[in-house]
Structure 1
Amino acid sequence: MRKTSPRKRRPLTKAQLLPLPADQVQRLSLKHHLALVSLRDGHGDLEVIGTLLHVLYLAYFLRNASDADPELYPRAEAVLDQCVARAERGESWALTDGERVVIVQLVVAHDAQLGTVPAHRYLEAWERVVRVTAPGARSPIREVA
């Protein structure tokens, strides 16, 4: 027997069930890779860190049980935190070689997600990202760790 919920959900449209449009995936991927290159080359800033934090949290919310490396998310978050801490001390917005490897893994993993995730899952994840990046919000990754 099927349970009915008090709040009826509209059926998803075909567009919501399909993967994101290829041109949107390419634009997002380019934005993410440019942020990575900026940080790698020591030209990071708050906007670049913000972009990479969005990548981190989107990838985290879009993950599934078959992800090869579930520890990637806390490692990537620690890398971005360390980068911000260095910048707060007046050092350059840059990644060390070891940190770069972690963020490259994150961006590549998120590229794979973007190519296959249904649009409705992406939008649901984005809404969660907006909530966890609001002032005073806490990291969902740290809460689990």
Structure 2
Amino acid sequence: MSSRRGGAGVSRPRKHLTKAMLLPMVQASVREQSLTSHLALVACRDGHGNGHLFNELMRTVYLAWFLQEDGYGNEPVRRFKTAEHAVEAALELAHAANEWVLAEDAVPVFESLLALRDAQLATAPLHKIISAEHRLRQFLAGTASSPVPDADPEQLS
């Protein structure tokens, strides 16, 4: 009896995942990534932001989005889009007036997305986090303006 499953196509062998890849990140790495994101938010909220810190905020938002797509989270799409628009507005202000500050009304959105990201880092297996980082690199190398789809008009109400 053959151990091959029926089918005409040849399948590639699955990549073996180590125990470490199947478990969540080690706590020290979770704390380090979380702290980096939260400090970026505080600096941008308080008017001490810069291009690097705003990039860190968007990196966090996009990684949270990719992990949510993999089943780790249930935040509304509009929250991710609001975060994108808030950073775009902040970058326009920085370009026009050299003020690197996040709008006050956007802070709660970022706080909720950072809380989501913290939960994802604490629970998602390492291979899912690495996959999300790979997807972020692919997005950055491409031409799309956002990995987050436009919010459904019904979700905006």
TM-score when normalising by structure 1: 0.88
Q: 2:127 aligns with which of 116, 120, 127?
A: 120
How do 1:23-102 residues align onto structure 2 when only pairs under 5 Å count?
A: 23-63=28-68, 64=71, 67-102=74-109
Aligned 8 A contact 1:42 1:95 in 2: yes
Task: Tell me how far 1:66 sits from its aligned partner.
Answer: 5.5
Distance 1:123 1:86, change over 3 A: same
Aligned 8 A contact 2:46 2:101 in 1: yes
In structure 1, runs of 5+ residues without a counterpart are none
Larger radius of gyration: 2
Identity of aligned residues (%): 34
In structure 2, runs of 5+ residues without a counterpart are 151-157
CA distance in 1, matches of 2:87, 2:141: 17
CA distance in 1, matches of 2:72, 2:35: 27
Q: Which runs of 4+ in 1 moved over 4 A?
A: 1-5
Per-residue CA deviation, residues 82-127 of structure 1 (Å, 9 max, x unaligned), is 1111111124111222111111111111111111010000000001
Aligned 8 A contact 1:131 1:137 in 2: no
